[in-house]
Amino acid sequence: MVSARIAGIGVAHPPPVTQGAVFDGFFAGHYAGVARGLAKRVFENSGVVTRHGVANPLVEDVSQWPTSRRMERYLAEALPLGKEAVSAALAEAGLAASDIGLLAVCSCTGYVTPGLDILLARDLGLPATAQRLFVGHMGCYAALPGLGAVSDFVSVRRRPAVLLCVELPSLHVQPAAVDPQQVVAHALFSDAAAAAVVLPTEGTYGVREVASVTDTTTADYMTWQVTDLGFRMGLSPQVPDALRAHVRPLVAGVLAGHGLSVGDVGGWAVHPGGPRILDVVGEELGLSEDDLAASRGVLADHGNCSSPTVLMIADRLRDRGPAPIMMLAFGPGLTLYSALIA
């Protein structure tokens, strides 16, 4: 079977704003009263220094917007952001949009019909015969099953494919409530788009394996509910402990299948669901702070951007060379996904 390798990655962000400015200028007032002290501590300990939002709370308060208005804004903002990321990935890979056989789009923060996949195919100039796939409601780990799908297509059909992940959590700020889970979500999440071009060729950054494990006994630990006032996140503080039980067996199994061990991995792209999640993954796998530096750096520089984040970290790791990269991401289910890139 023909191999599939990542030949280009493109990333796009809305304008940046510092975490401190967002808290002082908006969330300190949003969480007035009893919740303000809690919110301040959460924001200060989130690991986020800079974040991005198409809806900057210093300029506009979307917390009372109906879902319909948020979806209209989603389309207006996601389309150019996605186009920028895909165009950058294509340019790095040296391909034209007309070369693409499949466009896969992952997003859980907005829905439109015709979908982003159709509109992007039109605006980018993909051929009418290009296949499309839209993946929704997988949350932060969606990039890895998306990568698996496009890699399978590339290997079997022998045509290039593009994976795009675009998320706009800034459109889902919720009305103020004394709810620690909402405070954590508001402190962590940020907007971004990331795209990867996958080619049917041998070479470095080949997609060697995509694997997952889902613990359905913890399905209520992470939720994303559509409400009349946008999408509302549920994020249990038990998530890191649930991950602790599964991350090492998953990673060790994938590596062993390729004759590798944890010490052979040259780069770790660990989705930064929060500082504690990175701590737990590091402890269970015996990783150093240097191993986690790219993940912590992306969290600090851009926040948790949901599905694009693990691609953003992998993009940063490529500067280290072609050593094997292990990508890890987590989300509803509770689901753990891994991808070995070598």
Location of structure tokens 């693990």: 310
**Are residues 296 and 267 part of one domain?**
yes
Task: Specify whether 151 is located in the same domain as 222.
Answer: no
Q: Which residues of 291-312 are buried (b: 16+ CB within 10 A; e: fewer)?
A: bbebbbbbbbbbbbbbbbbbbb
Q: How many residues does the chain have?
A: 342
Q: Do residues 190 and 280 share a domain?
A: no
Domain end point (choices 151, 182, 199): 199
34 shares its domain with 129: yes
Q: Supply the range of the domain harboring residue 332.
A: 207-341
| pLDDT, position 35 | 79
Q: Are residues 299 and 273 in the same domain?
A: yes
**What is the structure's pLDDT at 2?**
61
Which pLDDT does position 333 carry in this prediction? 92
Residue 172 near residue 54, CB atoms below 8 Å = no
Specify the CATH number for the domain of residue 222: 3.40.47.10
Q: What is the pLDDT of residue 4?
A: 96
In this structure, the answer to whether residues 94 and 154 fall within a common structural domain is yes
* 125, 211: one domain: no
Q: Among all chains, which residue has been given the structure tokens 């920028």?
A: 84
Supply the pTM of this predicted model.
Answer: 0.96
Whole-number pLDDT of residue 259: 97
Each residue's pLDDT expressed in tens, for the chain with a length of 342 residues: 568 999 999 999 999 999 999 999 999 999 987 678 999 999 999 999 999 999 999 999 999 999 999 999 999 999 999 999 999 999 999 999 999 999 999 999 999 999 999 999 999 999 999 999 999 989 999 999 999 999 999 999 999 999 999 999 999 999 998 889 999 999 999 999 999 999 999 888 999 999 999 999 999 999 999 999 999 999 899 999 999 999 999 999 999 999 999 999 999 999 999 999 999 999 999 999 999 999 999 999 999 999 999 999 999 998 887 789 999 999 999 999 999 999
Q: What are phi and psi of 238, to 5 degrees?
A: -85, -5
- Among the three residues 199, 223, 254, which one is the final residue of a domain in this structure? 199
**In total, how many domains does the chain have?**
2
Query: Which residues in 43-129 belong to E strands, given as ranges?
Result: 50-52, 102-106
Among 183, 199, 215, give the residue marking a domain's end: 199
